Amino acid sequence: MKKTIFKGAATAIITPLNEKGIDYERFGTLIDWQINEGIDAIVVCGTTGEASTLTDEEHREAIQFAVERVAGRVPVIAGTGSNDTAYAVDLTKFACEVGADAVLAVTPYYNKATQKGLIESFRAVADASTKPVILYNVPSRTGCNILPATAAILAEHPNIVAIKEASGNISQIAEVAALTRGMLDIYSGNDDQIVPIMALGGIGVISVLSNPMPRATAELCRKFLDGDLAGATKMQLDLLPYINALFCEVNPIPVKAAMAAMGFCENSLRLPLTVMEAEHEEKMLAMMRELKLI
What amino acid positions are annotated as catalytic residues?
136, 164
CA angle 44, 101, 99 (to 5 degrees): 90
**Is the bond preceding residue 272 a cis peptide, omega within 30 degrees?**
yes
Q: CA 202 → CA 54, 124, 127, 166, 226, distances in Å?
A: 31, 26, 25, 12, 13
DSSP code at position 65: H
Distance of CA 40 to the CA centre of its chain: 12
Residue at 232: amino acid letter: A
Specify the pairing of strand 41-44 against strand 204-207: unpaired
Residue in 160, 155, 134, 142 with CA at minimum distance from that of residue 41 = 134
Query: What does the alpha-carbon distance between residue 10 and residue 204 come to, in Å, rounded to a whole number?
Result: 8
Specify the pairing of strand 133-137 against strand 160-165: parallel
Q: Are 48 and 255 within 8 A, CB to CB?
A: yes
Q: Are 158 and 136 within 8 A, CB to CB?
A: no
Strands in 13-111 per DSSP E? 17-18, 21-22, 41-44, 76-79, 102-106
Give the phi and the psi of residue 61 in degrees, each rounded to 5.
-60, -40
